[in-house]
Amino acid sequence: MANGSLNGRRRVVITGMGAVTPLGNDVATSWSNLIAGGSGAAPITQFDTEGFPVQFACEVKDFDPGEWIDRKQARRMDRFAQLIVAAARQAEADSGLDIAKEADRIGASIATGIGGLKSYQDCYDTLRDRGPDRVNPFAIPAIIPNMGAGWVSMELGTKGPLSSQCTACAASNMAIGDGTDAIRLGRADVMLCGGTEAAINKVGIAGFGAMRALSRRNDDPKHASRPFDAGRDGFVMGEAGAVIVIEELEHARARGAKIYAEISGYGVSSDASHITEPDPTGQNPARAMRMAMGDAGVGADQIDYINAHATSTPIGDASETRVIKLAMGEEDAYRIAVSGTKGATGHCLGAAGAVEAVFTTLAVHERTLPPTINYEVEDPECDLDYVPNESRDANVRYALNNSFGFGGHNACVVVKRWDE
């Protein structure tokens, strides 16, 4: 361990974090509001919702991209790219990195589920109303999903590995796993990993609404996202950008970096089952959880906390409860604390895993479990310890962060408390 390796493998630690979420425009505010039981849900302000069956969401509030990005450049970006650049700059500052000094060894792994949906809508509206000659020449670079990663690299100057995952709601957990693998394999010493999404627009709300995936509690937005509760009726759309800086252990030690936690395991699998519904057997997401634990070298008896995917959908939350029992065994499943933090943030789609990685890291680092808010009526199919409504002090050593996405994508990450 003295040389920063575990069983001959390079170890990966978290040395910086940044986040712009519905709970706050930085990590400290987001975490404080989460622990206090806050909710980011409110009526939509980004467009006129008249005629829409869903009229609320978890928006990022009072966000000024000019605080983080040159205003001319910001106008060329979709909101999803603006959010991730802001989060990346926060994470860079928090880590104390001098990126320019070793740019070739610093990379970025940045995910999104959809990409520039607002820019796509704007491009189509202009084409329809004003003709092809009036389409914005920056439309395509604003739309394509990889430009969240591209803008992070260009704005911060990273020149190492650069990748962009687009695996629905599992995307940013995969971004973290892929970044971890890049460091383990020696392709980089530092990776900025995270995810971003900004789909609170007419196309996003109409599309997910047509699927009947969204809660329709227009009269009570703050209580609409209710993971594991018997009255859950769909998820609440969220938006966010979140980044963690992960680093090879000896590299972090050599520059005297503060260490929040260690990324000790990563697991992935696919359902090969249905375009939107989870694997009915539960075996494949459970396999991703077991794979992550195996990669970390721990058993179910060592896991103290799970940040669940927990979108607040009737099928999804019951399925994840069964998955946790399959992966952990019933005895440990009933022992382990499980939070559904989307009760507070809504479902941030491709950014969800990164937002929840920040929360999971802080749960381990601060020894505090975030609550599952709006948990009022027990569902017989959801009978685990969901840390209902109030945060809880806990001695968390190992935690799992679960992300399961449309198309059958499953990605799980193990975060270990740093105590050396």
pLDDT tens sequence across 33-68: 999 999 999 999 999 999 999 999 999 999 999 999
Measured over the CA atoms of residue 174, residue 349, residue 107 and residue 140, the dihedral's sign is: positive
Side-chain half-sphere of 389: how many Cα atoms within 13 Å?
7
Q: Which pLDDT band, with edges at 50, 70 and 90, does 5 fall under?
A: low
Residue 25 pLDDT > 50, yes or no? yes
Tell me the domains of the chain and their CATH numbers. Answer: 12-254 (3.40.47.10), 266-417 (3.40.47.10)
Residue percentage of the chain with pLDDT more than 70: 98
Side-chain half-sphere of 402: how many Cα atoms within 13 Å?
29
> Under DSSP, is residue 395 helix (H, G, I), strand (E, B) or coil?
coil
List, in sequence order, every beta strand (DSSP E) within 169-272.
190-197, 240-248, 261-270
- Catalytic positions are 169, 309, 347
Return the residue matching tokens 């990748």.
163
> How confident is the model at residue 6, as a pLDDT?
60
Q: Which helix (H) or strand (E) holds 85?
A: helix 79-95
Average pLDDT over residues 225-240: 98
Strand partners, 58: 238
> Under DSSP, is residue 410 helix (H, G, I), strand (E, B) or coil?
strand
Average pLDDT over residues 180-195: 98
Rounded mean pLDDT of the chain? 96
pLDDT tens sequence across 291-315: 999 999 999 999 999 999 999 999 9
Longest CA pairwise span in the chain (Å): 65
| 3-state DSSP of 377-398 | CEECCECCECCECCCEECCCCE
Residue 350 pLDDT > 70, yes or no? yes
Residue 373 pLDDT > 50, yes or no? yes
pLDDT tens sequence across 86-119: 999 999 999 999 999 999 999 999 999 999 999 9
| Cβ neighbours, 10 Å, residue 57 | 28
> How confident is the model at residue 419, as a pLDDT?
86
CB 246 within 8 A of CB 176: yes
